[in-house]
Amino acid sequence: MAVPSITGQYLIDLTNDLLAGYQNAIDSRAILSFLNMGKDEIWSVTKELHEEYFQAFSQSTDSSADYYFPQLTMGVREYTLPSDLHSIEYIEVTTPGQTGVKFQYAKLNSPIFRSARSQANALGGPDNNNEPQTYIYTIAGKDQFVMAQYPSYPYSITIWYTYALPDFEASDTISDILFPFSKKLAEFAAKRAMVGTQDAGQFAIWKQEWRDGLINLIQAEGTRNDADPIFVQDFWGDYD
């Protein structure tokens, strides 16, 4: 059975059901804003728990499709990352015979990035004498993948990353990932509408309780993988 799809309007209606005496007294645009705030809270808590709900990997075959990241080009050091990328988790080189190549992140102003960039500038191109290479990269601005060195081969790489969830509108179909949390979203929006602007202190206390409940909900679902058994080594203690 497929996961039922829900829309922003469904969540607005669900929130209104929870508003009781305030039902239909709150503007739907305001409710939508509160729902998106709740969405951001769910994303944040899930990421803090290191649950891999919001993971994706890039593809290099269709530039018009989601998750696109191109094959590297020799002599080119700047590339545009997928539009929904929040943070890179791992870079995998998939080119046959080149899988030993590594990519290492460094801040733009770090000594390791500046040194590698300076050496590459002096060479004026790829360093073909350093194999297998470790390429230093950084992320500049909103979505720029910037390498310190020039690629010495047209590498095909897969970027495994955590993606951001964009705000949704009433007419949008919500990500299936959020379906189990639909009631938590509505609960957050309803409480925010009722007390968020009137008593910020009370809402802050309630919000912490809501986050605790969300953590319990996520953890009660267990790990994302039950396929592999986990073995615990016995403690033998000291012998007499």
For residue 185, the one-letter residue type is L
Query: Which residues are CB-contacts of 84 (< 8 A; sequence separation ≥ 6)?
Result: 56, 66, 67, 163, 164, 166
Per residue in 99-119, pLDDT (tens digit) is 999 999 999 999 999 999 999
Per residue in 107-163, pLDDT (tens digit) is 999 999 999 999 999 999 888 777 668 999 999 988 999 999 999 999 999 999 999
Mean pLDDT estimate for the chain = 86
Identify the pLDDT of residue 176: 81
Extents of the domains making up the chain: 54-163, 190-221
What is the Cα gyration radius of the chain? 24
pLDDT band at 65 (very low <50, low <70, confident <90, very high): confident
CA separation for the pair 183, 208 (Å, rounded): 17
Give 237 or 37, the one with higher predicted confidence. Answer: 37
Identify the pLDDT of residue 48: 79
- Give the predicted TM-score (pTM) of the model: 0.75
Q: Among the listed ranges 2-6, 39-43, 123-127, which one has the minimum average pLDDT value? A: 2-6
Identify the pLDDT of residue 82: 93
Identify the pLDDT of residue 169: 95
CA separation for the pair 182, 18 (Å, rounded): 13
CA separation for the pair 182, 6 (Å, rounded): 8
Residues forming a β-bridge with 147? 137
For 113-192, list the strands marked E by DSSP.
Answer: 134-140, 144-147, 157-163
Per residue in 177-210, pLDDT (tens digit) is 888 889 999 999 999 988 866 777 888 888 999 8
164: pLDDT strictly greater than 50? yes
When pLDDT is averaged across residues 63-79 and rounded to a whole number, the result is 93
CA separation for the pair 138, 227 (Å, rounded): 35
